[in-house]
Amino acid sequence: MSTTPPPQALTTDPPTGELTEKEGALDWLHALGPRGRRAFAGAFGGYALDSYDYFTLPLSMVALAAYFGLDSGQTGLFTTVTLVVSAVGGALAGVIADRVGRVKALMITVITYAVFTVACGFAPNYETLLVFRALQGLGFGGEWAVGAILVAEYASAKHRGRTLGAVQSSWAVGWALAAIMYTLVFSFASDDLAWRIMFWTGALPALLVIWMRRRVHDAPQAVAVREQSTEKGSFTAIFKPGLLRTTIFAGLLSTGVQGGYYTLATWVPTYLKSERGLSVVGTGGYLTFLISGAFLGYLTGGYLTDRLGRKRNIWLFALLSAVCILAYANIPDGANGLLLVLGFPLGFCMSAIFSGFGSFLSELYPTALRGTGQGFTYNTGRAVGAVFPTTVGFLADSWGVGGALVFGAIGYGIAALALFGLPETKGRELA
């Protein structure tokens, strides 16, 4: 039996729109109503730009390593520091979201990661860049959790998986934009300048904040329920007997999935360029297949989350992701065509597993603690999962990057086991 307190039902419509069932592939979008669609646009844009700013580093890793004279362990530390600090930022953003509202917290996170991404471009040495990248993590950690909650509280139980899967797909959009910018910048500028330009383009999210401030608002009914609670934005509350089990296993689930994912996201560009001998344009071409698979994986995973349930979707793609990693990392030399073909299912599977996270974690916690619970568990998993990319970095010198990538498959095994401690939440209404 679940120990999670059941949230109260939320059945009233947004005041500016009507929740109606419509036929077609986009019924989930129509059902959000006008205010919900603006919230969706804000969360989608924020997460896409979050992804863009995140990938400025992995895509520039080879140039950075040459510029500052770094070894694999030092470059892996960039990702670890970012993800560890993002855990702090994400947990704090969750508390802020429960206390002052989802939209205000979302704008704070976007401004934070934009400012420090730009600052990275001015770093004079490795140590300064490490500090700026860590501070970027404060904003990076909170954006997804807060944006997912904002949209989840507008979405109906029937469509929540697809809706949050669509929000999650914006990560692939931002990744693609970063890959395009990488190809252009590194083709026309020297490596010593190109990596700085990549970071400077991270100022783009500031434009989104201006729009959000005027047009995006929290779900009114969720605000009412949250404001009536006497216990909100409290870390101690998510560790009380009623929620302790949920918090522990949700943290383990997040650790496993993100450990596997960030291993791939951090090291595949380096693997393609340093071990497979691909040029900048060639690497961009291979990443196109990987990112295309990721985009479709997010959308498909969102659909399957509603059809199969939250847990079955994660179990399915944890298994498939582990298999894809093992296959991708063991392609023989000279078979770069096969590397291209396998990039699509690899991107598809490692992204589809994330589609259920927004709905699943939102449904595990009551309204007054939803930001705190989701922010803490998702980002604690991100921090602990950050050990995986660093481990790959240190193993790469002896195993090679391709061989060390296999370590990411362990993360998906942890995720599959963690699901045994969590309830199925498909169909649960939010308030």
Distance (Å, rounded) from C-alpha 108 to C-alpha 343?
Answer: 35
pLDDT value, residue 401: 57
What pLDDT, on the 0 to 100 scale, is given for residue 192? 94
pTM of this structure:
0.79
Pair of tokens at residue 173: 């959009």
Length of the chain: 431
Contact 157, 424 (CB under 8 A): no
pLDDT of residue 265: 67
Which residue, among 409, 93, 61, has the nearest Cα to 264 in the 3D structure?
Answer: 409
CA angle 323, 325, 331 (to 5 degrees): 105
d(CA 183, CA 346): 21
| pLDDT in 10s for each residue of the chain, 431 residues | 444 444 444 443 444 344 444 446 788 889 899 999 999 999 999 999 889 988 898 889 889 999 999 987 788 788 778 878 888 898 899 999 998 899 999 999 999 999 999 999 999 999 999 999 999 988 888 888 899 999 999 999 899 999 999 998 998 899 889 989 998 999 999 999 999 999 999 888 878 888 988 899 999 887 887 778 777 778 899 999 989 999 999 999 999 998 888 777 666 666 666 655 555 445 566 677 778 888 999 999 999 999 999 999 999 999 998 888 777 777 776 666 676 677 788 889 988 998 888 899 999 999 889 999 999 998 888 888 777 777 776 766 666 655 566 777 888 899 999 999 999 999 888 86
Look up tokens 């007054």; give the residue.
368
Angle value at C-alpha 47, between 35 and 380, nearest 5 degrees:
115
Query: Quick one: pLDDT at residue 344?
Result: 86
Q: How far apart are CA 195 and CA 38, in angstroms?
A: 34
Is residue 382 within 8 A of residue 86, CB to CB? The reply is yes
Distance of alpha carbon 398 from alpha carbon 10, whole angstroms: 55
Distance CA 359, CA 181 (A): 31
Closest CA to 411 of 249, 257, 254: 257
Whole-number pLDDT of residue 72:
76
CA distance 167 to 414: 25
Tell me the C-alpha distance between 419 and 311, whole Å. Answer: 7
**End-to-end alpha-carbon separation of the chain, Å?**
21
CA–CA distance, 107 with 219 (Å, rounded to integer): 16
SS3 for the chain is CCCCCCCCCCCCCCCCCCCCCCCCCCHHHHHCHHHHHHHHHHHHHHHHHHHHHHHHHHHHHHHHHHHHCCCHHHHHHHHHHHHHHHHHHHHHHHHHHHHHCHHHHHHHHHHHHHHHHHHHCCCCCHHHHHHHHHHHHHHHHHHHHHHHHHHHCCCCCCCHHHHHHHHHHHHHHHHHHHHHHHHHHHHHCCHHHHHHHHHHHHHCHHHHHHHHHHHCCCCHHHHHHHHHCCCCCCCHHHHCHHHHHHHHHHHHHHHHHHHHHHHHHHHHHHHHHHHCCCCHHHHHHHHHHHHHHHHHHHHHHHHHHHHHCHHHHHHHHHHHHHHHHHHHHCCCCCCHHHHHHHHHHHHHHHHHCCCCHHHHHHHHCCHHHHHHHHHHHHHHHHHHHCHHHHHHHHHHHHHCHHHHHHHHHHHHHHHHHHHHHCCCCCCCCCC
Contact 368, 231 (CB under 8 A): yes
How confident is the model at residue 3, as a pLDDT?
43
pLDDT at 87: 84
Neighbours of 194 (CB within 10 A): 20
- Residue 70: phi and psi, rounded to 5, are -100, 150
